[in-house]
Structure 1
Amino acid sequence: MKEIESSSDYSFFYRLDQIDLRQKVNISIHDGLLEAVLKQALHGRALTYHVIGNVVVIKPMVEKENPNSVITITGVVTDSSGKHPLAGVSVQVKGSNKGDVTNEHGQFAISAPDSSVLVFSLIGFQQQEVPVGGRNNISVHLIGANTGLNEVVVVGYGSLKRSNITGAVSRSICGTSTTGLSPISDRACRA
């Protein structure tokens, strides 16, 4: 560094507690660019540099966090009001076979990459995808699905005289009553 400072307009900036100046480096470059000299001088060391104007800042390399590091994600799933926990919600890591199911308190725990997406689903509710984004705790409010029943199958038992039934009986019972049986609730017939 002393030779570069004496033969150029560059000066070096570093912290003495981070750089060991007792280590000597021998390189052989004649009329080379500063970047080439620094790359060769710092090769194999856990140091990096930045050139700001005529100042070269040398500092330790910082390890980049692995964007796919696996974390444990916990949370609670409730209805849209946020007041009632939902049990039995499927919590799936999108694109994998990892999953969990919420307990009676709506709680779940799952290990997944911090850049993954969790898929929450339960019959009668809209499916929801939530990016983890490095969070360890996620609260989800599922919205009720506004889909009506396309087909209602009602199985009932009653008593009829054997002579009145000679085979299979198939009949729409919404809005009408069958002989000898009570009509089903109007609520089940609404679509």
Structure 2
Amino acid sequence: MGGLRERNRLRTRQDIVDAALDLFAERGYEATTTDAIALTAGVSPATFFRYFATKEDVLFHDEHTAAAALVALVRDRIDHSLTLSALEEPMVTFADSLTDGSVPQLTHLVMTTRTLEARSLRMPLRWQHDVAFQLAAERGLEHPGLTETGLAALAVTCLTSALRHWDYRSPTLGGLVHDAFLLTKEVNP
């Protein structure tokens, strides 16, 4: 029965996420209440709060999964040199993975809603931290040094700069990330 209970729990969680995203798209983030999300999802407000502390948490429900996916791409990259160029391919691949499903609309909402700015800045910081630790681990280091931290920050900045300028209706996010990496070569040829 644990399997069925877990599937039901995951389905309820996804129903809440889907309802919230639909309402955010229809009414805007600020005009959407947790009560409206619960009603649309077919759950009680108490059930909503068992899954999410705030409506903001719904938007960032998979931030841990996203960070893990990015680190996996960095870990599995072809070029393991400690260079910014070696991080371009995993960043572009990760960016292209964000063009599926509701991610484009979600990304656009987060990037264009002023009250979400502070929370949206936490994700790139987490990505930088996790990528730096991955780079350090590849070199047998317990903690990243300046090189690993700096490279992770530069690579993630290319990704987040592209996200900020991405027209979410266009599936060229990976191309924008590539262009951001090209800019780093112009600054430091």
Q: TM-score range by the shorter chain?
A: under 0.3
Structure with greater helix share of residues? 2
TM-score by length of 2: 0.21
Which of 1 and 2 has greater Rg? 1
